[in-house]
Amino acid sequence: MFNNQRQGVAVGSVEGRVEIKDLGEMAGRRSFAFKCHRHEDPSQARGGKKYHNVYPVNAICFNR
């Protein structure tokens, strides 16, 4: 739950992403996702490409 007027959910994934979904919004304009828990690994960089170690999101906590 977001607050007293809005309801929603937060979903974490093994791909290091979090999605915040507003259940009251039909078009989904207030919903969003972001990448987190990533660390650039310079030891694997080859040919100008960057590699990242991606860690799963195991828990999500809200506080006011």
In tens, the pLDDT along 4-26 reads 667 788 899 998 999 988 887 76
In tens, the pLDDT along 20-58 reads 888 877 666 788 899 988 888 878 777 778 888 889 999
Q: For residues 17 and 33, is the Cβ–Cβ distance under 8 A?
A: yes
35 membership: H or E segment, kind and range: strand 32-35
The first and second tokens of residue 27, run together, are 């078009």
The first and second tokens of residue 7, run together, are 């309801």
Neighbours of 27 (CB within 10 A): 7
Task: Determine the pLDDT at residue 18.
Answer: 93
**Does the pLDDT at position 64 exceed 70?**
no
